[in-house]
Amino acid sequence: MRWCGPVLACIAATACIAAATGGSSQVAPRKGCVLAATERLWLERALVNWEHGSRHILGRSPTPLPWIVLFDTTCTWHLNPAHRPEFADAVSLGLRIEGRAIPAWSVAHGGSVRLPTGLEMPVQPAAFASVADNVPVPYLVLALPSVFRRDPTIARDSLLEERLLSVVSHEILHTRQLVDLRRQLALLREQGAHLPARLDDNVVESLFGSDSAFRRAFSAEVSLLYRAAFEDNREAARTMARDALRMVEARRRLHFADSVAVYGRLEDLFLNMEGIAEWLRFMLHQRAATFADASEIAAFMRGRGNEWAQDEGLALFLLIERFSVGWMERMLGPDMPAPRLELHRALEAGIPP
């Protein structure tokens, strides 16, 4: 979701915010922060969306919420913070989750939003989950819709608020996955793997994005995966999916070798994370019935230049949902299995319609 702006959606072992600064600018003096009524109503919708998606799609409790850092052009609001944010005032926003009031604090930011890590970032379109050693819980940073609408390119999106609603659920889900991701990365390090200094969901694309052979292979496999996902004939879809997986394995054998072999596991980890989160977004859009059919939802989600992990991840999980049984407990489990292997297992099991 790079359309969210220049801040990277950092879902990794440390907070890695491209636009954040290490300095500590003067926090603006406290004053009354008023959340616009339209923004509050949108937040209510986002919370209802998450509550439904978590409980009825993922089969999990929507609570506890992560620490959520919201901001508009003048103020920052902290929902469910792990501790009282510096200089902030307790406020009552009337927001609830599962019928319980969500604690909230507000502070005027003076144009620079302070994150839970103590770093600061400028006011700009942003939606990302992160985790850091000096913060006790994963957290979500989210610009309110009014900030997104300040960008003239983004403002042309007639479905911006609908898009952001599903993005919120995507990122909240990531805050649930981050602990397992850190554990898996630590395991790789214990096994002697040399990981990139900067780790986020874009790690494979960052290394191989300029490799034309890799790009062609990746594009071809993604195209075939989506064709399989929306093929009406089940056996034809199964055949296409098998062919696509053979292409995936051939690309991995060719490019993930020797000094970059660890990128094979990194790709699997981020396809797991991004794929499930994008599938949740897909299901929420399907529930909203804004689009005529499933292929229109996918086109809407893919049409803003999604990264590789999001694009292939969604296709894989659309197929996993179609062909696998009981996949959610495995794929949302702490081991973070590879989606390609789950799909292969399901296809070879030959589960009937």
Instruction: Write out pLDDT tens, residues 10-43.
Output: 333 333 333 344 444 434 444 579 999 999 999 9
Q: What is the pLDDT of residue 350?
A: 62
Q: Quick check: helix, strand or coil at residue 277?
A: helix
Q: What six digits make up the tokens of 10?
A: 């950092």
CA proximity to 161, closest of 305, 44, 78: 44
Q: Where are the domains of the chain?
A: 2-176, 201-349
pLDDT at 198: 86
Contact call for residues 66 and 139 (beta carbons, < 8 A): yes
| Cβ contact 62:136 at 8 Å | no
Strands 67-71 and 139-143: parallel
| pLDDT for residue 91 | 95
Is the C-alpha dihedral spanning 235, 236, 239, 240 positive or negative? negative
Given a contact cutoff of 8 angstroms between Cβ atoms, the answer to whether 265 and 332 are in contact is: no
- Beta strand pairing call for 120-122 and 67-71: unpaired
Would you mind telling me the total number of residues written for the chain in this entry?
353
Residue 15: per-residue pLDDT: 33
Q: How many CB atoms lie within 10 A of CB 322?
A: 19
- The reported pTM is 0.91
Q: What type of residue is 34? A: V
Beta-carbon neighbour count of residue 1 at 10 Å?
24
Low-confidence ranges of the chain (pLDDT < 50): 1-30, 352-353
- 172: tokens are 């909240």
In terms of Cα–Cα distance, which of 260, 127, 130 is closest to 204?
260
